Amino acid sequence: MPCHDIAVVTLDNPPLNSLDHALRVRIVSALTAAQADPAIRAIVLTGSERAFSAGADVTEFGTPRQFAEPILRSVLEQVRHSSKPVVAAIDGVALGGGLELALACHGRVATRRAKVGLPEVTLGLIPGSGGTQRLPRLAGIDVALGLMLGGTQKTASEFVDTSLFDRVVEGHLLDAACACAAELADAGAPWPHADRIHLDPGYVSTKVSLARQRLNARQRLQPAYAALLDAVAASAGPMDEGLALERSLFLGLIGSTEARALRHQFKAERESARLPDALQVAPRPVSTVAVIGAGTMGTGIAICALDAGLDVILVEQDDAALSRGRHRVADHYAARVSAGKLDEHAAVAVQARLLPTIDWQAIGRADLVIEAVFEELSVKQDVFRRLDAVARPGAVLATNTSYLDIDTIAAVTSRPQDVLGLHFFSPANVMKLLEVIRSRDTAADVLATGMALGRTLRKSPVLCGNAFGFIGNRVYNAYRRQCEFMLEDGAWPEDVDRALTAFGVAMGPFAVADLSGLDIAWRMRLAQAATRDPRERHVPVLAQLCEQGRMGQKSGAGYYRYTDGQRAPSTDETVRGLIEQASAARGLQRHALKADEIVRRALLAMVNEAACLHADGVSSRPGDIDVVLVQGYGFPRWQGGPVFWAREQDRKQLLAELRELVAAGGRGMRLADEAALALLLD
């Protein structure tokens, strides 16, 4: 139907029509003009195929533009009280404030593929322009709670049984929206609006109470979740009262440490995925990836590549190992099908792009090769010697090492410029972090290829310099070492784990060690023993546990004892005895450590190491360190990362505490001096 008497207002702020101040001004101006024009009887708001609007411009947060009139609430009030019906025509995404704008309209038409969501909780906020009041009324309390608490996106086709959309169409969006607007105009005022939908207070109260009970421990540590539920509970009352409460809660959150930390992490993730300007070159094309090693890590990497639409050659040394790897991949996709997350035909099509083989000559077809073999230098060097002989010229050769020197691995090839590190985190098909490690000779386009691959795999790639442990393991080792010092000083493993999980880390360091296997760290320390200064403070407990066969969960005991897969609530006498012996050998009088002291010492150790590695050039940007620790090591996202945390502290006190921490650690600990700290925090 032609829109000859309907004003079409197009949101135009590429790429995603973020609702910055300039766009808000233009929307109000267009609405005012349309309402004043007697030839216009209805209004359609639309965007682009990519986005109706992705919501607020986060770069305005904390600036005067954020609260410059017209704020979004003012725009929505003009829509709400329009003398002519307003219909939102939605394609692409309608997120946050973009969805709130659509919710304030009198009608909504969307394409089936359009995606909607209110992800504010992931930024430590709640919807601040009516989302908590209108979405429950239009989509139902259950759907609204799921969408807002999860911070997820859903397609318009998933809302066909609700009142959220008047029409969901395959195509001709604008025509359908104009037809909807014309029908509303023909019907006359009052126009349909969420305000006129009333919810059952008892039902809303029950659902909100259940949602509070179901919040997990990490959600309970973030004030946005409780605030969101408070706001949604008000949707059972008068609209204006709910809007007022929502706004008050929103304003209380926007300056909170958690919200600022989450905005910092959001910005840091966007920046970390970009190479520094000096290294900005075109990547090499990659359509086929070879993965050497079909163990847990190798098959996880293969699944990532398959999910990204790449062809994968999975290489093993014998048929038995290859068969195990092939079955891991098949089991993964079978589980996806059983869970309803993947169509069976799609699963078959994905696996058709996998070539399992023991023939190394097949690697010659690959554009990029990733080895995922045993973490031992000689083993990886042998692999790269073979790769040098079979990989095609120009192919990128990547090692998945966690600690080893990339230069030493690259040196066994005739093409060190084609070698880099791609450090995946386990499970590789789940974890978002990818450390991209630059060796001495790595070509710029090879680095660009590694970063581009990370984005193709839908990961967060972070550029790292070639130094022991790169960014993540180097900081984590310093953190874990400090936690072991606290055992000698007087804490038990459960004291440390409990304090740090209360701060928000996903798992305490000793629970993590048991989960991953104590023998991994033990082997690494054995390899370093010959070069370690004997005067260096070294806690022997981990080695002693391994020598007793206590390798963690897989052996039934580590720092904790496990019965039927369950962790004991506290450490047993064997562990406590070893810890007490270590304290006595060092001449330490054990004393209980308070939770806040445990947390602060752990964070100070991370900050000190972060400052040292940044001063050494291992990280390109301070924010990269926070991305690595949050994405790969369970650091609480709403705490921003160790760099953000350090920036929140008094600089003089922080430096004094770092000096004290390093002095207590003794020989082997390097102090991040004032200059290194300034590089990190300024």
* Catalytic residue positions, numbered: 100, 120
Query: Which residues face 463 on adjacent strands?
Result: 436
User: 466 by DSSP, 3-state: which?
Assistant: coil
Handedness of CA 465, 471, 472, 477 (dihedral sign): positive
524 C-beta neighbours (distance < 10 Å), count:
17
Cα–Cα distance, 485 to 282 (Å, whole number): 47
* Three-state SS letters, 22-79: HHHHHHHHHHHHHHHCCCCCEEEEECCCCEEECCCCHHHCCCHHHHCCCCHHHHHHHH
Residue 541 backbone zone (phi > 0: left; psi -120 to 50: alpha; other: beta): alpha
User: 85 by DSSP, 3-state: which?
Assistant: coil
Measuring CA to CA, which residue among 320, 406, 306, 426 is closest to residue 354? 306
Residue 640 backbone zone (phi > 0: left; psi -120 to 50: alpha; other: beta): left
Instruction: Phi first, then psi: give them for residue 500, nearest 5 degrees.
Output: -75, -35
Tokens of 226: 């409780």
Q: DSSP letter for 619, please.
A: B
Cα–Cα distance, 466 to 440 (Å, whole number): 8
Tokens of 242: 């709910």
**Position of tokens 């702020």?**
13
Measuring CA to CA, which residue among 488, 472, 505 is closest to residue 606? 472
Taking the CA of residue 666 as centre, how many other CA atoms within 13 Å lie in the half-sphere pointing to its CB? 10
Measured in whole angstroms, how far is the alpha carbon of residue 342 from the centre of its chain?
22
What one-character-per-residue DSSP string does 521-566 give? HHHHHHHHGGGS-TTS----HHHHHHHTT--BGGGTBSSSBEETTE
Instruction: Phi first, then psi: give them for residue 557, nearest 5 degrees.
Output: -160, 145
Specify whether the CB–CB gap between 60 and 18 falls below 8 A: no
Specify whether the CB–CB gap between 242 and 230 falls below 8 A: no
Measured in whole angstroms, how far is the alpha carbon of residue 597 from the centre of its chain?
28
Specify whether the CB–CB gap between 159 and 168 falls below 8 A: yes
Pairing of strands 419-424, 354-357: unpaired
Alpha carbon separation from 106 to 26, 42, 64, 377 (Å, rounded) = 20, 10, 31, 65
Q: For the packed helices 493-503 and 595-615, what is the interaxial angle rounded to 10 degrees?
A: 70
Tokens of 215: 């919040």
397 C-beta neighbours (distance < 10 Å), count:
27
As to burial, measured by CB atoms within 10 angstroms (0-12 exposed, 13-18 middle, 19+ buried), residue 662 is middle
Cα–Cα distance, 490 to 479 (Å, whole number): 17
The CA-based diameter of the chain, rounded to the nearest angstrom, is 91
Specify whether the CB–CB gap between 272 and 621 falls below 8 A: yes
Specify whether the CB–CB gap between 625 and 645 falls below 8 A: no
